[in-house]
Amino acid sequence: EVQVVESGGGLVQPGGSLTLSCTASGFSVSAHYMTWVRQAPGKGLEWVSVLYDDGSAYYAESVKGRFTTSRDTSKNTLYLQMNSLRVEDTALFYCARVALNWPLDSWGQGTLVTVSS
Amino acid sequence: QSALTQPASVSGSPGQSITISCTGTYSDIGTFNLVSWYQQYPGKAPKLIIGEVSKRPSGVSHRFSGSKSGNTASLTISGLQAEDEGAYYCCSYAGSDTLVFGSGTKLSVL
């Protein structure tokens, strides 16, 4: 069964850092595009980042230069390193697998990041 | 990249059909046939219901259908059921290795 499980969320002060993890089962993260999507409380979905199978990563303008997406193939895990966090980064962060031609076909339950002093 | 524009809310009675629009630009929906739709219940993760404008994943009801014309994509739900109540989001590839989501539509089944 294809599954992704996010972890690593928590409370962090503005300007702080946090790393989220997304552990996959039933498929290899290195063989698929993988993406991060976030949802602020009571708000809509916002695309954050994509990691291609070749290891290259791309970001939304709102996080570019502050967030870094990577993976560990030995752990079949995707990561989102978040630096210089802002109050407006507070959100539920989802990891999702990207299928051919870009539909996000498998989502985790999300991990909550709260940025507050 | 601005969010794609969706109506904030739509409603319908059981058995009726409703359509949710998703308006973008030439740079996203207008150029790429890479629009997907997601259903989200409160407190739950989004679920893919339509990919590549009109393709239904295995297990998704035939009552869901998608289409596109110009810079606007549409999701139609026929034979509305109480279980369809929730939020719906469109999403499009927007070029330059980016995705853009719609603003979201809350569907109420009266």
- B70-79: pLDDT as tens digits: 999 999 999 9
Assign 3-state DSSP to chain A and report helix, strand, coil percentages, each to 5: 5, 55, 40
Which of B7, B95, B39, B84 lies closest to A45 in space, CA to CA? B39
* Residues from chain A contacting residue B44 (CB–CB below 8 Å): 109
Amino acid at A93: F
Give the gap in angstroms from C-alpha B50 to the nearest C-alpha of chain A: 8
Give the gap in angstroms from C-alpha A112 to the nearest C-alpha of chain B: 12
Q: What is the pLDDT of residue A53?
A: 95
Q: What is the pLDDT of residue B1?
A: 76
CB within 8 Å of chain A, chain B residues 62-101: 89, 91, 93, 96-101
Give the gap in angstroms from C-alpha B48 to the nearest C-alpha of chain A: 6
Residue of A nearest to B57 (CA): A105
Task: Give the model's confidence band at B49: pLDDT under 50 very low, under 70 low, under 90 confident, else very high.
Answer: very high
Task: Suggest the residue from B99, B103, B106 to mutate for an interface test with chain A (most A CBs closer than 10 A).
Answer: B99
Residue of B nearest to A59 (CA): B98
* Residues from chain B contacting residue A46 (CB–CB below 8 Å): 3, 101
Amino acid at B76: T
C-alpha to C-alpha distance for B26 and B94, rounded to whole angstroms: 9
Which of A105, A31, A115 lies closest to A66 in space, CA to CA? A115
Q: Tell if the CB–CB gap between B52 and A101 is shorter than 8 Å.
A: yes
C-alpha to C-alpha distance for A82 and A113, rounded to whole angstroms: 10
- Mean per-residue pLDDT over chain B, rounded: 97
Can you list the pairs that B65-71 forms with residues at least 24 positions away whose Cβ atoms lie under 8 Å? B66/B35, B66/B37, B68/B29, B68/B33, B68/B35, B70/B29, B70/B30, B71/B23, B71/B24, B71/B25, B71/B26, B71/B28, B71/B29, B71/B30
- B57-107: pLDDT as tens digits: 999 999 999 999 999 999 999 999 999 999 999 999 999 999 999 999 999
- Mean per-residue pLDDT over chain A, rounded: 97
